[in-house]
Structure 1
Amino acid sequence: MDEALLVIAAGLIAGAMNALAGGGSFVTLPVLLATGMPSVAANATSTVSLWPGGLASAVVYRGGLRPIAGVGPRVMLAISITGGAIGAGLLLWTPERLFDRLLPWLALLATLALAFAPRIGPWMQARLGSRGAPLLLAGQLLLGIYGGYYGGAVGLMMSALWSLIDSADLKVLAGSRLLMATAANAAAILCFALAGIVAWGTVLLLGGGALAGGYAGAALGKRLPLPLVRGVTLVLCVAITIAFFLRAYR
């Protein structure tokens, strides 16, 4: 019973985090690993569980979709789905031990993107000009692959990439971020389900919490100041990245 309550609570927090800024799997993945679940199965189960919460948040923000650097939502959606399917296939081919070693570096990459994108974004936008759209398309495909492979903080990384190319702030881009991350994960979920590596009992607990947290977090995100959301998310990401390194290399 204690373990079930912990999983539900992790889902609530992660769903709210994904709605506010991203990075929900920084909460769910350590909890699933702590229950003794193998890392690849835990990653797949986390991705499946957080998907309903992401979808609920996307519904809340559905009126906020907009082109990014001139690229329309439909094109971005197709690229995200394609990348998610490729990434999921790569994960299924990755040995468990190798993924354990890669996990902290993937988490570090996401944390650095969150920390430094706001500082270098204006500099990049001033120098890219018309080259922003091709860079966005290439980057979005890579992030779709990353989302299908790991899923962790893919929303954060999309926000980071977009803020380098598009001058809109994170709140304006929230609807697009949630939709694209959810689309990449949907493609990955299909692959994981067919491979039979998802712990469906855990999905019901974790996903239920994420669904409630995602809806509440999206509603709250329209009111909270952006610096507060970013600061709290960054602190949590740094702490869990350190924990992943200690787990993999101690």
Structure 2
Amino acid sequence: MTGWELAAVCAAGVVAGAINAVVGSGSLITFPTLVALGVDPVTANVSNTVGLVPGSFSAAYGYRTELQGQRDRLLRLGLASALGALIGGILLLFLDPDVFEIVVVALIALACVLVLTQPKLNAWVAARREHAHPHGGTALWLGVLGAGIYGGYFGAAQGVLLIGLLGIFLDDGLQRVNAAKNVLALIVNGVAAAFFIVAADVDWQAAGGVALGAIAGGFLGARLGRRIPAPVLRGVIVAVGVVAIIVLVYG
């Protein structure tokens, strides 16, 4: 990887780290960047997951005030995230790589739809909030498990899924829900990354570039993300998602 290519990966990591802190679709920035630079799609996904872990930590740390009082909740849901991430990572490595290239296109398209429909999703969440279970219940635990499997297999927009699930089932403010989302995403990325480091081939140049950018982006997103106009952010994510689909199908 040349110096300019590494700089491009770092820049993508900054944007992804910021987006992950606020929305949770940063892989739609870094993953297609790595693929466009010639990294094999499965290796790009593995390296991207490893690289985003430091950014996930910085995003979670940035929301530490909103995390107060959520320890018990996150211990319960964190177990579901960890188990799901391990299952998703195993599926990624042991399914036929051709299956990944087919499925990932559908997952990116789904992620784009989720991002586009997030305003309506948020309105639905707000309408249901008064009826939410105070602890989430079994339904939330299973939903977080499913989001963890998705995140371990291909993490783009897992944050959108988590915000939707947590907002529906928890009687809590959206900023606290977003803080919890960042912790659960950190668990998913961390467990999947640990598994990939042991069991898969990691492109350490790519992972390092993503990590350097994502650390700065995570702090930036936690501090300034609430000021970014949501329509602009959604537009960027969807545009990159479309480019990712084109690269995978026609690249």
**TM-score if structure 2 supplies the norm length?**
0.88
- Does the 8 Å contact 2:28/2:244 carry over to 1? no
Find the counterpart in structure 2 of residue 43 from structure 1: 45
Q: CA deviation at 1:167?
A: 5.0
Change (3 A) 1:120 1:198: same
Q: CA deviation at 1:144?
A: 0.8
**In the comparison of the two structures, how many residue pairs are matched?**
245
Aligned equivalents of 2:204, 2:219: Cα separation in 1: 22
Aligned equivalents of 2:77, 2:246: Cα separation in 1: 36
User: What are the ranges of 5 or more consecutive residues in structure 1 without an aligned counterpart?
Assistant: none
Find the counterpart in structure 2 of residue 108 from structure 1: 109
Q: CA deviation at 1:231?
A: 2.1
Out of 18, 25, 35, the position equivalent to 1:33 is 35
Identity %: 31
Find the counterpart in structure 2 of residue 242 from structure 1: 242
- Does the 8 Å contact 1:28/1:46 carry over to 2? yes
The root-mean-square deviation of aligned C-alpha atoms, in Å, is 2.4
Moved more, 19-28 or 237-246: 237-246
Cα deviation code 1:207-231 (max 9, x no counterpart): 111111111221113x526xx2x32
Find the counterpart in structure 1 of residue 188 from structure 2: 184
- Does the 8 Å contact 1:117/1:164 carry over to 2? no
Aligned equivalents of 2:165, 2:111: Cα separation in 1: 11
Find the counterpart in structure 2 of residue 6 from structure 1: 8
Cα deviation code 1:184-224 (max 9, x no counterpart): 11111111111232111222222111111111221113x52
Find the counterpart in structure 1 of residue 233 from structure 2: 233
- Does the 8 Å contact 1:22/1:153 carry over to 2? yes
Find the counterpart in structure 2 of residue 81 from structure 1: 82
Aligned equivalents of 1:56, 1:22: Cα separation in 2: 14
Find the counterpart in structure 2 of residue 17 from structure 1: 19
Partner letter of residue 33 of structure 2?
V
Change (3 A) 1:160 1:81: same
Aligned equivalents of 1:109, 1:126: Cα separation in 2: 28
Q: CA deviation at 1:165?
A: 2.5
Change (3 A) 1:127 1:19: closer
- Does the 8 Å contact 2:133/2:171 carry over to 1? no
Please list, as runs of the form range in 1=range in 2, the aligned pairs for 1:113-192 lying within 5 A after superposition.
Answer: 113-114=114-115, 115=117, 116-125=120-129, 133-192=137-196
Q: CA deviation at 1:135?
A: 1.5
Cα deviation code 1:110-152 (max 9, x no counterpart): 2333324213324555677689522211100000111111111
User: What are the ranges of 5 or more consecutive residues in structure 2 without an aligned counterpart?
Assistant: none
Aligned equivalents of 2:66, 2:130: Cα separation in 1: 25
- Does the 8 Å contact 1:19/1:217 carry over to 2? yes
SS of residue matched to 1:36: coil
Aligned equivalents of 2:249, 2:211: Cα separation in 1: 30
Change (3 A) 1:130 1:9: closer
- Does the 8 Å contact 1:12/1:212 carry over to 2? yes
Q: CA deviation at 1:172?
A: 2.5
Partner letter of residue 205 of structure 2?
G
Moved more, 29-38 or 169-178: 169-178
Find the counterpart in structure 1 of residue 94 from structure 2: 93
